[in-house]
Structure 1
Amino acid sequence: MNKTNYNTIIIGGGAAGFFTAINLAEQTSNHSIAILERGKDVLQKVRISGGGRCNVTHAEFEPKPLSRNYPRGEKELLGPFHSFMTGDTIAWFEERGVELKIEEDGRMFPVSNSSQTIIDCFISLARKHNIDILTSNNVASIEKTDSWKLHTKTDTFSCEHLVVTAGSSPKVWEMMRQLDHTIVNAVPSLFTFNIVDKKIIELAGIAVEARVEIPQLQLESQGPLLITHWGFSGPAILKMSAWGARELHESDYKFDLVVNWLNYISAQDCFETLAARRKDSKKQVGNEWLFDLPKRLWKYLVESISLTEKNWADCSNTDLHNLATVLTASTFAINGKSTFKEEFVTAGGVDLKEVNFKSFSSKKQDNLYLAGEILNIDAITGGFNFQNAWTGGWMIARAIGSRQ
C-alpha cells in the first residue's frame, strides 16, 4: 500500500517545490516529505527555460536593486532578499556541485549550458534525502481538518504542513479561493509585440540599443530591441510587457509603439548632427548611415521618408527634421502579442497582502505556505522569476524546519 501520510506535502514539482523540499530535508531529520506533481514529469519549466540552458538567476547582488526587477512583488521581496538572494543561490548550487557563470547581460547559467544539470542536481538530492516524488497525482480538492487532506483520483494524502508551488494553475487557484484567499486574475507577462508593418520584419535579426514608449498607456522602457519575423522582442520589449502587463491586456494588445532608435539622443541633437553632415557632403543619404545604426535599418528608415537617393547637400531643414523624427520617434502599430520563446509567464495569483513574507506563510490558514508563481509575483526575465522561487522555497524550509 502506498504511503499517504507525511509531515510536509508540496503541491507542484517545479523549481520552487524542489527547492523547498531539498532545503527542508537538509534542515530536519526524520521529517517525511512528498512532492505531488500532476504531470508525468517534474521540473518541465526548468527544462525549457533559457532556451534549454536554465537562466538560474541574475547577477544583481544587492537586495534593493534586485527587488526593482519585479513589477509585482518589489516591496514584498525586499525583506526576504536580505535573507536569501543571488549570492546565496550561487553558493547553494556550487556547494552541491553545480557551477554557474555570468553572461554579458547579467543572466546566469550552469557552466554546462544545460538545464539538465539543474534537473539532475535536484533529482539526485531528492533521492538522497528520501523525498517522495509522486508524479501523475493531480490534486482534486484540499480539506483542512486537524491536518491537511489532499484528495486525488486514487488516494487521500494527509500532512501537517502544506506547501503550494503549483504555478499559475487555475484549478489550484480555485482551491486557494476556497481556502479564503483572494486571487488576482491572471494576465500574460513577458511577451513580444506583433507588428502591422510588414516591411520592417524583413529586417529580422537586427538588434539595437533603443528607447521605446507607449504614450497612450504612459509606459516606457530601454535596452536592446530585437526585430523579429513577427515584430519586436528583446529586453526593452520584455521589460515593458512585464511592467505594463495589465494595461496592455486592457488595451487588447493594440496600441502605437514609439521607438527612439538612437536611445537617449533627442530629436534636436539628432537634427544638429544631420545638419552638420549636410554642409559638405554630396553623398546620397541612403549610402551614408550615421549613429552606428545597422546599414539595413538605416536604409529602411531613410526610405520610409523618401530620402534614399537625395544628396545630403540637397536636403532641406524639413527633410532633416523628418529624418530626425523617424530616427528618434518612429511609430509602429502593434496588433497582438506572442509568447516569449517557449516560456509563458503570467501576472496574477494569490494576493500578496494575504501572505507573511517572513515565512511565505498564509495569513488565512495555519501551516499553509506559498511560493513561486502561485503568488502574484512576476519579473522582467526568467532568471529573476527563478530567484523568487529559490528565495521563497528557502524561507519556507527555514520556517517549517524551525518548528521541528
Structure 2
Amino acid sequence: MIYLDNNATTRLDPRVLEAMMPFLTEEYANAASTHPFGVRAHEAVKLARQQVAQLLGCEPTELIFTSGATEAINLAIKGVADSYASRGKHIVTVQTEHTAVLDVCRYLEGRGYEVTYLPVQPDGLLDLATVQQAIRPDTILVSVMAVNNETGVIQPIQQIAELAHAAGALFMTDATQAVGKMPLDVEQLGVDLLMFSGHKLYGPKGVGGLYVRHRKPRRVKMDALLHGGGHERGMRSGTLNVPGIVGLGQAAELCRQTMKEETVRIEALRDELEAGLLAIPGTRVNGNRAHRLYNTTNILFEGCDSDAMIMGLEGIAVSNGSACTAASVDPSHVLLAMGLNETEAFSCLRFSLGRFCSETDINICESLLGEVVGRLRSYAL
C-alpha cells in the first residue's frame, strides 16, 4: 500500500512501539500504585510528560493526558464554558474547524450559549479584522485551529490570541495537525489551551493531550468532565494509559529531534507530487499555498467524482475529506466555507504525506492518478 493519508492517521513508528512494549508486557502496573512496580510506571509517565512539554514549550504540570484530541476539545470547551459562565456565554470559532469543535459548540448552543462561526476567505485564511469585530465583552473563548486538516492552511494564531486577550477572552487552538510537524511554543504564541492526538505524530491511537495554561498572566480555570479518583490533578479521572502515554512521549521526542530534516524532505515530495498532478488539465489547489503545512495538498479535479478516483487508485490511500466524517455523504464543510460549490467539493482529493513516504510512492501516484482522471473524464463524454 502507498499511504498518502497521514492527516487521517500515521503509522506507528517502530521506535515508539519499542518504547511501549515493556509497559504492555512486564511493566504493567498501575501508575497510581505505591509499590515499586507502580513507581516505575509513574516514572515512565513523568518522563513522557516532560518529553511532550519540551515539544510544546510548556511546563509538564500544564499537561493533561486524554484519550485523544476529541476528548481534549470536549474537556477544554465545556470546562471553560462552565467555569466562566458568570462572566459571559459567548464563544467565537471558525466555520472550517474540525467537527469535534463544531459539534461541541452546537451542543453548548442548546444550553444557552451563543457561538459566532467566522467565515474564511477563499484561500481558507481568516481575516483578522473579522475576528476582532466578532469578539465582544461577553466573549469567554476564541477557538481557532492551528492547521486545517483538509487543506493544511495555517492560521495566524499568535495574532488571533492577541486579539482575544485584548478583550479579556481566552484563546484555544486545536493543534492536532500541527503538533510534531511544525515548531510550536505555547508561551511565544500566547495560547491558553491546546490539544493534540498521539496517532497524528507516529504515536499510538487512544492517547492525546490537553495543554492548560497555569502560568501568569492567565491561569485558566476549567471544570472537569470526568470524576472518580482525581487523576491528572482532578481534571481527568481514570486509570492512566501508561503504554499509550509512554508511546506519546517517545513520539514527541522523535518529532522534536527530526522535525527540521523531515520538513525539508517531505515538503520536496509534496511539491513534486503537486506539480505532477497540476500538470493534469482542469486541476487546481484548494487553500493558500504560502501559508500551509508542508505535507498537505488538496486538489480539485474538474469533472471527476472523488469517490470514483479513490476507488480507481487501488493500492493508494488518499482522502476526500476529514477521516472523522468519512461516513458522511455530505460535501466537505471546509471546502464549502471556502466558496466551492457542491459539485466542486465532491471532486477534490487530499494528499497528506509523512515520515514513511518515498519518491517512488509519489511517482506511482502521479502516474496512476493521471490514468484514472483520464478514464473518468472519457466516461463523461
Common topology (TM > 0.5): no
TM-score, with length taken from structure 1 = 0.24
Which structure has greater strand proportion? 1
Which structure has greater helix proportion? 2
Larger Rg: 1
TM-score, with length taken from structure 2 = 0.25
